[in-house]
Chains A and B, each alone.
Chain A
């Protein structure tokens, strides 16, 4: 899935200072590979959203460089970059404005100058994909929170950008909606899209992403597969993140000698047999168990 040679977004020594003087990014280096699902994690104010807003040129670097498919974002408009990078904002209410769900999805396609018959087929495709075609004549504001979130994703998917940025997709969503978002990410992966997710949700990340970039105080502390990054207690403490529940359980099991030193199990289906074995061993008069 991951093609390390194929970098779609390259961030080089990026610094960004907001007009009020707050230095949000202090020398960020990051590469996003084609077709991967990358999570950017960190505490509030770590600079995650500021970083991804550079991917489609909403923010321009104070110092350093961001290359999107080789295009320097300093010399391209947001509209140009948005054809490559689709951005789904955290709050759907910030972007919905049209009279109908159909028009909402057609908006970006019209801005990009697609002919009407293409618009029609793409809107239909995107709304069906998000299970919203039945609401096409309704006002976006009459939809539920989860449906509005899916509508914002549909409005981005409709113009088929290669890279999709999801800012806090699971914030304020119930379990069912999270499941739906998981399905959407899986679908995007199958479609070969590059997905960048900004999130705090460690449990969500362990299940769905290829790599995690951990940020704190405007810098990237570590980048790597979640199995490695989210099992590093020192790093998580520094980034003020809580380890996934199974990693915490693994730590307890290590203390009791059920898992070896340095061994983590971050998937329930792999940890369960080891636990069962330990418990049976205890019952049979073998090792003491937990």
Chain B
């Protein structure tokens, strides 16, 4: 559930929110690319700290910390698997991989936390993606919080009939979660069919090119942001 919160957007009025979504995308992609490129522990930590600093500027430090906390078990698993079955024998390489997972999670959720579905759609269309596909992506993100509520409702319904999700052996627990999947999938498929009908009823898919109320225009502050980011990348690589 905590992991699903990573995709929940809440509007704030900070310097990060006011920036062009393309700039925010560039920031997240740059941090993720740097994380994939560098091999040292310190630099992976630096990327995570940078993401946390940006989140603090965007008044979302607590939420990003929550996302990192939620990603910790998977990160621990990456560490353990690489340590036990990886090519090297040291601890450094598995630790780098585990931290890289955290850095990637932090930098990408930073973007989704600060970008509204509308902005995401504008961003994708500015990248020449057809409307159908941009709508597909934005709707997927739009429904993540709704999905989180559905997961909760289904969990409550099953618990009320005596299912103890966190009890028993590992196989038992996996099976318990399978019970959860069936009503969820059925419910979401039904919901998506309804959403498709509602979209068509409002003219989606018409052959005319749809107009946009808001269009993306880069401001001076956005160019400044890009310059700062470029300086950060240069410094980061020079370190």
Q: Which residues of A contact B (CB under 8 A)?
A: 53, 56, 58, 77-79, 82-83, 86-87, 89, 91, 93-98, 107-108, 111-112, 141, 155-156, 159
> Are A56 and B160 in touch, CB under 8 angstroms?
yes
Q: Which residues of B contact A (CB under 8 A)?
A: 150, 153-154, 156-164, 179-180, 182-183, 186-187, 190
- Residues on B with C-beta less than 8 A from A56 are 160
Residue of A nearest to B178 (CB): A97
Beyond A53-B156, A91-B153, whether A97 also contacts B183 by CB under 8 A is yes
> Are A111 and B161 in touch, CB under 8 angstroms?
yes
> Are B183 and A112 in touch, CB under 8 angstroms?
no
> Are B183 and A111 in touch, CB under 8 angstroms?
no
B97 to nearest A CB, angstroms? 32
15 contacting pairs across A/B (C-beta < 8 A): A53-B156, A77-B164, A78-B164, A89-B153, A89-B160, A94-B183, A95-B157, A95-B161, A96-B183, A96-B186, A97-B179, A97-B180, A97-B183, A111-B161, A156-B161
A69 to nearest B CB, angstroms? 17
* Bound CA–CA A58/B159 (angstroms): 8
* Bound CA–CA A156/B163 (angstroms): 13
* Bound CA–CA A276/B182 (angstroms): 57
* Bound CA–CA A82/B141 (angstroms): 35
Counting from the closest, the 10 A-B pairs by CB-CB distance are A111-B162, A95-B157, A97-B182, A108-B161, A87-B160, A78-B159, A94-B153, A79-B162, A97-B183, A58-B156
* Bound CA–CA A98/B179 (angstroms): 8
Residue of A nearest to B158 (CB): A95
- Residues on B with C-beta less than 8 A from A79 are 159, 162-164
Residue of B nearest to A80 (CB): B162
- Residues on A with C-beta less than 8 A from B153 are 89, 91, 94
Most buried by B among A89, A112, A159: A89
- Residues on B with C-beta less than 8 A from A87 are 157, 160
A51 to nearest B CB, angstroms? 14
* Bound CA–CA A159/B160 (angstroms): 12
* Bound CA–CA A53/B157 (angstroms): 10
A65 to nearest B CB, angstroms? 21
- Residues on B with C-beta less than 8 A from A86 are 160
> Are B187 and A78 in touch, CB under 8 angstroms?
no
> Are A82 and B162 in touch, CB under 8 angstroms?
yes
- Residues on A with C-beta less than 8 A from B157 are 87, 89, 94-95
B173 to nearest A CB, angstroms? 14
- Residues on A with C-beta less than 8 A from B179 are 97
> Are A111 and B163 in touch, CB under 8 angstroms?
yes
Residue of A nearest to B181 (CB): A97
- Residues on B with C-beta less than 8 A from A96 are 183, 186
> Are B160 and A93 in touch, CB under 8 angstroms?
no
B175 to nearest A CB, angstroms? 12
* Bound CA–CA A155/B183 (angstroms): 15
Most buried by A among B150, B160, B164, B180: B160
* Bound CA–CA A156/B182 (angstroms): 19
Residue of B nearest to A152 (CB): B157
> Are A93 and B187 in touch, CB under 8 angstroms?
yes
> Are A112 and B187 in touch, CB under 8 angstroms?
no
* Bound CA–CA A235/B157 (angstroms): 33
Residue of B nearest to A113 (CB): B162
Residue of B nearest to A53 (CB): B156
* Bound CA–CA A77/B164 (angstroms): 9
